[in-house]
Structure 1
Amino acid sequence: MSKQFDTIIIGSGPGGEGAAMTLAKKGRSVAVVEKAPVVGGSCTHSGTIPSKALRHEVQLIQDYKQNELFAGAMEHLEITWPQLLERSDEVISRQTRMRRSFYDCNRVPVIQGHACFISANEIQVTSNDGSIERYSADHFIIATGSRPYRPDDIDFSHPRVLDSDALMNLDCTPRSITVYGAGVIGCEYASIFANLDIKVNLVNTRERLLAFLDDEITDALSYHLRSQGVILRHNEEYESVETTDDGVIMTFSSGKRLKTDLLLWANGRSGNTQDMGLEEIGIDVNHRGSISINEDYQTALPHIYAIGDVVGWPSLASASYDQGRFAATHIAEGVSESKLIEDIPTGIYTNPEISSVGRTERELTDDKVPYEVGRSIFENLARSHITGSNIGMLKILFHRESLEILGIHCFGHQASEIVHIGQAIMSQKGSANTVRYFVDTTFNYPTMAEAYRVAALDGLNRIF
């Protein structure tokens, strides 16, 4: 006899949490199945939270080194990778306790084990001790996340070959590292390692970094990565990987060869859909483990939903949480608010940070949209002089005729925070969404937010 719930959510990452909290507050009986011993998903334990905690600590070290007051004291400071991981572990522990309290306060049971569908309305959960329980529900939400993609021809059992998950257990500080894959994860870790004075090769399988971003922003990222000592290798495909006692040799189809202490594989992720019995009940999974959904997050079986990284793009924790809320609302009320996240802000935690929302210059040019650009260079802001964070800029794209804001792109200190000011104005309707808002609004002085006024004035001055 299986235990019955209105909805069972598989996975306790941001998407699963968002869905569970929404359904619980709407009075539905809901349970969460989590394979790991603790809640939070890969976002909390091996992805977003630990990588951003590591990046923050490295940024602090760089800030002190660049400050004349501390330059002498910091000159011989050596911080090891294991020391940084200890700090990251503290953040993870606090996050885990907090996230667990959400389930407890909302009386949502968390069932530990691996879930597998045995029919369209029933799952069996196998716990770590091998015991099996069955649970049934009217609706299911699959929020199992993703894991690093591992090609079969690379020996990930070798201690010198790592993916982003294994990096959280690295017990030494390498002198050199090759990062294969120049997506968000690859760029972030290349920046982290470079700022620890580790020699970094960043191998990009494409022509330019992060091609989904505005070209000017990615050009700036490339420049500053190089200034930090990162060697960029574009348009390269690996041919073979050879492991030795003292390093890893990667050979490319171009004939190049690189030998470094470690290889960090950061080229793609796979959805966590293995051994879940999905194909047997009629839900197809592609070669990367991703599930196809409609605009309401429903799979081929309408009562089974899928959200977060397991459905692919945009693979952002922020978007996953909202997807969970929207799927839960569709279950409870028959409507979805998915259009609310059509313009999702992107935050990339390199050093300096990148964040953007809306359209790029390339997209506007291709669509023949008459637009203008307003820029604010951070080195001209008083706040930047005070903090010593002179690198970066804010860029506003707006329609030449209506002055509607079309895109916000930011590179530099606190970019992931600054972008939300522009996002808030972009979300307004009609005349409330124009670049003139920033000219007619008084900003605190000195602040980084003042960059919006400077950029708006710069852009309006270009209109003739």
Structure 2
Amino acid sequence: MTRRGFRFWLRRNDEHVAGRGTFVEPHTLEVVSATGTRRVTAERFLIAVGSRPRVPGNLAVDGIRIVTSDHIERVPELPRRLAIVGAGIVGCEYATIFAHLGQTQVELFDRQPRILPFEDADVSAVVAARFAQIGVHVHREAKIETVTVVGDEVEVTWNDHAGELHRQRYDRVLVATGRAPSTANLGLERAGVTLDKGGGVAATDTRTAAPHVWAAGDVTPDLMLANLAELEARHAIEDMYGLEPPPIIHEAQPAIYFLSPEVGAVGLDEQKARAQHIDYRAAVVHNALNRRNLAMRATDGFVKLLARRDGRLLGLRVVGPQAGTCIQGVALMIGQGLTLDAIERCVHPHPAVTEGVLEAARLLLGKSLFKPDAMPGLCHIIEG
């Protein structure tokens, strides 16, 4: 729902109280606005205040030259040179956008040895290779020292992986070092709500420590995704009115990274499976074996499917065009605890990018016509 649609819905159904709210008692909010202060009392509350950009202490965001994702889409002109601090989803997506607009030289900085460090290295490698092709320069293991506005430019100094100091000027600097829950100054402790060490509202299936308070979206420790926020909000409202919704299956949460190439993700990847000490197997099928990808002349990327030894599905990563369309079926299957056989028995459309998922399942079942020994570099099985 758009903001305009939400405001229209509010006019038809409920009272909209605009302002900054703070709990003063367990069931009472004090709301301060431009027109004054008032108190609002209710039996139940839903905390859905979202998140804010997380900014390192040595970076002074001014919203003009040094910006976050809250500001970048309002800059008056395309920068000739753009520095992006942070190579997570937000940083990499904006690097993709500005590089494809064709008027901006983009440089991406991160302290980690590779971009998208929360994903497996093979996913990062494909995106990084594409960045090199479209002119995005990645500074790996870079430690930002200072970011200073100098006239109409921003001067950035940083140390590289060898400790050598560098200095460069840019038109804009985008700080994309993550987001943090917007829980400050809400008085949540007065309502009996507890926070986790990251400042998010501690909640299980949207229920907080206070029986009359629920939480949804970025304010919780869960993944900060719009589709999950909507699901949690619906769950919270149904729960607070006694409709007994089923538990939220976080293991089946799908996500799309709007990069070049696109990345679709659901469930566990290899590094998360190893961290949880799960005995897994994975199959990788490169897009060069998929006829739809060949027809589109878009063979960069791959499909990687993870399953337990007994065949139960764990996760899927798809890198390439239409990656986001490949993950929903597997998300449903993970949520239902299904196995590789469920994918193999499902008739897939042809030619389609989703056939890569089918062939990955067949590889793990020993039924694929693709043979890793005969096709080195195009398909293989990983024993976790």
The interval holding the TM-score normalised by the smaller chain is: 0.7 to 0.9
| 1:183 aligned residue (84, 88, 91) | 88
For residues 387-424 of structure 1, what are the alpha-carbon distances to aligned partners after superposition, in whole Å with 9 as ceiling and x for unaligned?
34333221112234x22222211111121221112212
More helix by share: 1
Distance 1:341 1:366 in 2: 17
1:98 equivalenced with 2:20 (yes/no): no
TM-score normalised to the size of structure 1?
Answer: 0.71
Distance 1:281 1:330 in 2: 19
Instruction: Report the equivalent of 1:313.
Output: 222
CA positional deviation for 1:103: 4.1
1:270 equivalenced with 2:177 (yes/no): no
1:292 equivalenced with 2:197 (yes/no): no
Give the alignment's Cα RMSD to 1 decimal.
Answer: 2.8
Q: Secondary structure at the match of 1:436?
A: helix
| 1:257 aligned residue (164, 167, 180) | 167
Instruction: Report the equivalent of 1:413.
Output: 321
Instruction: Report the equivalent of 2:284.
Output: 375
CA positional deviation for 1:240: 1.1
The amino acid of 2:212's aligned partner reads H
CA positional deviation for 1:101: 4.5
Instruction: Report the equivalent of 1:427.
Output: 335
Distance 2:233 2:265 in 1: 23
Q: Secondary structure at the match of 1:325?
A: helix
The amino acid of 2:331's aligned partner reads Q
1:219 equivalenced with 2:125 (yes/no): yes
Alignment of structure 1 residues 220-239 onto 2, 5 Å: 220-239=126-145
Structure 1, unaligned stretches of length 5 or more?
Answer: 1-39, 41-94
Q: Secondary structure at the match of 2:311?
A: coil
For residues 407-459 of structure 1, what are the alpha-carbon distances to aligned partners after superposition, in whole Å with 9 as ceiling and x for unaligned?
21111112122111221222234xxx222333333222222222222222333
Change (3 A) 1:394 1:108: farther
Instruction: Report the equivalent of 2:29.
Output: 123
Instruction: Check the 8 A contact 1:293/1:305 in 2, yes or no.
Output: no
Distance 2:46 2:256 in 1: 26
CA positional deviation for 1:291: 3.3
Distance 2:144 2:82 in 1: 15
Distance 1:263 1:113 in 2: 31
Instruction: Check the 8 A contact 2:251/2:335 in 1, yes or no.
Output: no
Distance 2:228 2:30 in 1: 29
Distance 2:283 2:8 in 1: 45
Question: Greater shift after overlay, 115-124 or 147-156?
Answer: 147-156
For residues 211-263 of structure 1, what are the alpha-carbon distances to aligned partners after superposition, in whole Å with 9 as ceiling and x for unaligned?
32223212222222222221112222221112112421111243233322210
For residues 149-169 of structure 1, what are the alpha-carbon distances to aligned partners after superposition, in whole Å with 9 as ceiling and x for unaligned?
234543322632111111121
Question: Greater shift after overlay, 144-153 or 230-239?
Answer: 144-153
Instruction: Check the 8 A contact 1:192/1:351 in 2, yes or no.
Output: no
CA positional deviation for 1:370: 4.5
For residues 303-325 of structure 1, what are the alpha-carbon distances to aligned partners after superposition, in whole Å with 9 as ceiling and x for unaligned?
22322212233111122122222
1:114 equivalenced with 2:20 (yes/no): yes
Distance 1:301 1:370 in 2: 38
1:162 equivalenced with 2:70 (yes/no): no
Q: Secondary structure at the match of 1:116?
A: strand
Structure 2, unaligned stretches of length 5 or more?
Answer: 367-371, 373-380
| 2:150 aligned residue (224, 237, 244) | 244
Distance 1:301 1:435 in 2: 41
1:396 equivalenced with 2:305 (yes/no): yes
State the number of aligned residues: 364
Alignment of structure 1 residues 65-80 onto 2, 5 Å: none
Instruction: Check the 8 A contact 1:291/1:306 in 2, yes or no.
Output: no
